[in-house]
Structure 1
């Protein structure tokens, strides 16, 4: 039995029905004064009348509100172009020509060249001497960037600070494979942002800057960049959390000394994606891809710097080459680390007089390299001054002083010291530093200076 194989949908008419219909038509057509209508005409009039009645009833009940047949038809016909697939294609097409690969070049010692199996000296037809520099620059890292501005014949690129850190020269590869020399306009370690400048000849596409504040959880986003050196690569996912604060180690020594506000996404962010754009479905940049959690068993944890946070930094880098911040003038280490190291040294000395590496304690069991701070027993938190320069030095702060307060804010770590300075204070503000020296509590008050590029 077919889908419509029943009496209701049957197009067959029985012989009895046909004969009855013929008699009716004959009788109707012979009535005096009445025009003969065919069945088709009668059906058409009935249908039109019914439709008019329905329309009139709709207008009476709903007042005609929202009745726009033309716009409804247009929306239906355009529905195909509003699909997620089409929006993804259109969004990426807007930005891809503006995404570049950023190549960090540095002079490397003699050794095996990548993919050659030969030493630098052998590759150049000479001989390599141990420890001597080859004098040629090699590609030591590749990241991503996005062209966001064209001005006076120059193209300006946003990328990460860690992508160009230590670079002696920087090259940029366009989406068509062309390489160009680039200049570092400015960089900022704290926010992990940098700006590059290159020749803007034939550059037609500039990425549009969006608003990260408008992002919502579960919203679709795209990451564009150069993962693992593959170039011009797209990955897609959703916003997992619009505002996440993660601790970072600015010196990459494993000690967290800053907190970064980021957008958390489940988009694939791999080595080489750093510095590339995170875009929304309108093709606008809402973040700069920066980092991921790279641990065994961890997947789908990528992070991007919100573009709303990035643009003031980018503007400062364009204007000055660095980010203007209040400057205290101390290099510090957390007191917690001091106690942890002292405890390790004490345990090693209590064993056989040496540490596991053979350093850190003398044969007599006394710890080396760690100064005696003579702090009161109740003091466990603060930061130790390793070096004082600028305003702090002029105010009399010295090596091994232990800072425990800035103004009335207790300071337990370098992270908290930076946060208080950068978030609560301004250049030229007066600040009171409370610290211990030789077990005695002291204070010093002075004005914060401006942190320059060199500092």
Structure 2
């Protein structure tokens, strides 16, 4: 007998209820119908759930980040940087040569394997082979003062080289050798596609160690470096270069700067040699190099317009006369610099008008400038519509914006009065530096 009136808490079940429960379990028709219904419900639920997940995933991929599947799933296999360096180096190394420059003709009894008297070493890159000849890019300073030039291939074979052309301003030169036995030619890349932080390889002949390889990254794509063309300490040109962290040592000049696809993207040119400075090297970008190379192939030089003035920056002149009582007076024309440069007693004195702080002082006029009437102590302040504040700016305007045969409008001061004159530009002679 139960202590409770309701069967919910009782272990006893009434006979009628127990008999009905047995009948339900024993009915195959009723049991099959319920099992089939449960199966269909589960199937539909699974399908709907899968559809919802797919739609939600598609929405997230379209609206959020990332917008595409990882490369590991959709792209080619990832190759380690070290493996890419190995492959790129193997591709380019045979096209990089050592250059032996002798400033005197070699002695007949001098053996090739000995250190050579009056010889310097550099690097070069074979970029073209046709007509039985192979052509090589290098730096102009690598073959400076040359009397006899040889190249040495990766195999150790030496070949006599002739100079096709050179250009001091861009520091580029082209050599030509017999193409027999030369099979490797560097593939020209696109330096405009380089990115800062990208890994690059420098290959060359540093310190006489031929076939040397270093790697680094692109530190800056548009570094502007002042250059003294005559090595006199006065900067008279600016070189636009790629700054790299790969070491560039003496002998590396003229060698290859290569990306990880084994493409030539630059010509190694210089390094900062100050005490304590490491990991700063420079290379000429190949998209600037190749137009100069084609000009050297065709003409043996880069033809540029020539104005014909030896000059000094006004700022230098003012600094030189800073201690004078009256640096802007008539006596300024008798300065030691002007006397040395022109030695012309009839030349007017240099009078600098108030407010003029920049310009170019003419020390001597020759060629086109002399023909147009420019004289010692004329103060050039403008070329055409461009203000000129230094000799470097004058040269860059000429070379970048004018052509041989064109007329250049020169604005200048003489006796403190502004004047203009038209100068017809000619081609610069080889013997004019």
Task: Report deviation, 1:335.
Answer: 2.6
Q: Which has the larger radius of gyration?
A: 2
Aligned to 2:366: 389
Task: Report deviation, 1:427.
Answer: 2.7
Map 1:124-143 to 2 at 5 A. 138-143=117-122
User: Mean alpha-carbon deviation: is it higher for 402-411 or for 435-444?
Assistant: 435-444
Aligned to 2:159: 180
SS at match of 2:251: coil
Are the counterparts in 2 of residues 195 and 317 from structure 1 also a CA contact under 8 Å?
yes
CA distance in 1, matches of 2:299, 2:74: 55
Task: Report deviation, 1:258.
Answer: 1.0
CA 1:401/1:291 → structure 2, altered by over 3 Å: closer, same or farther? same
Q: Deviations over 1:300-333 (max 9, x none)?
A: 2111111001110111001111112222122322
CA distance in 2, matches of 1:385, 1:287: 37
Q: Paired residue for 1:446, among 394, 415, 423? A: 423
Pair 1:216 & 2:195 matched? yes
Task: Report deviation, 1:403.
Answer: 1.8
CA distance in 2, matches of 1:230, 1:216: 29
Map 1:159-170 to 2 at 5 A. 159-170=138-149
Are the counterparts in 1 of residues 93 and 203 from structure 2 also a CA contact under 8 Å?
yes
Task: Report deviation, 1:260.
Answer: 0.9
Are the counterparts in 2 of residues 147 and 207 from structure 1 also a CA contact under 8 Å?
yes
Q: Paired residue for 1:407, among 374, 384, 399? A: 384
CA 1:367/1:244 → structure 2, altered by over 3 Å: closer, same or farther? closer
State TM-score, norm by structure 1. Answer: 0.70
CA distance in 2, matches of 1:322, 1:387: 25
Pair 1:275 & 2:254 matched? yes
SS at match of 1:269: coil
Task: Report deviation, 1:183.
Answer: 1.0
Task: Report deviation, 1:171.
Answer: 1.4
Task: Report deviation, 1:248.
Answer: 1.3
Q: Deviations over 1:360-383 (max 9, x none)?
A: xxxxxx964543843135344222
Q: Deviations over 1:253-292 (max 9, x none)?
A: 1111111111111110111111101000000010111111
SS at match of 2:123: strand
Q: Deviations over 1:174-217 (max 9, x none)?
A: 11222221111111111111111111110000000000000001
State TM-score, norm by structure 2. Answer: 0.73
| Root-mean-square deviation over aligned CA pairs | 3.3
Q: Paired residue for 1:201, among 148, 163, 180? A: 180
CA distance in 1, matches of 2:431, 2:264: 31
Aligned to 1:340: 319
Aligned to 2:352: 376
Task: Report deviation, 1:402.
Answer: 2.8
Pair 1:329 & 2:308 matched? yes
Aligned to 1:236: 215
Pair 1:418 & 2:411 matched? no
Aligned to 2:240: 261
Q: Structure 2 stretches of 5 or more lacking a match?
A: 1-45, 62-68, 111-115, 326-333, 340-347
Q: Paired residue for 1:84, among 73, 81, 88? A: 81
CA distance in 1, matches of 2:388, 2:73: 63
Q: Structure 1 stretches of 5 or more lacking a match?
A: 1-52, 114-119, 125-136, 348-365
Task: Report deviation, 1:226.
Answer: 0.7
Q: Deviations over 1:127-173 (max 9, x none)?
A: xxxxxxxxxx9333211110000011111000011111221221111
CA distance in 2, matches of 1:413, 1:237: 36
Q: Deviations over 1:386-411 (max 9, x none)?
A: 33333212212234433222123221
CA distance in 2, matches of 1:277, 1:253: 28
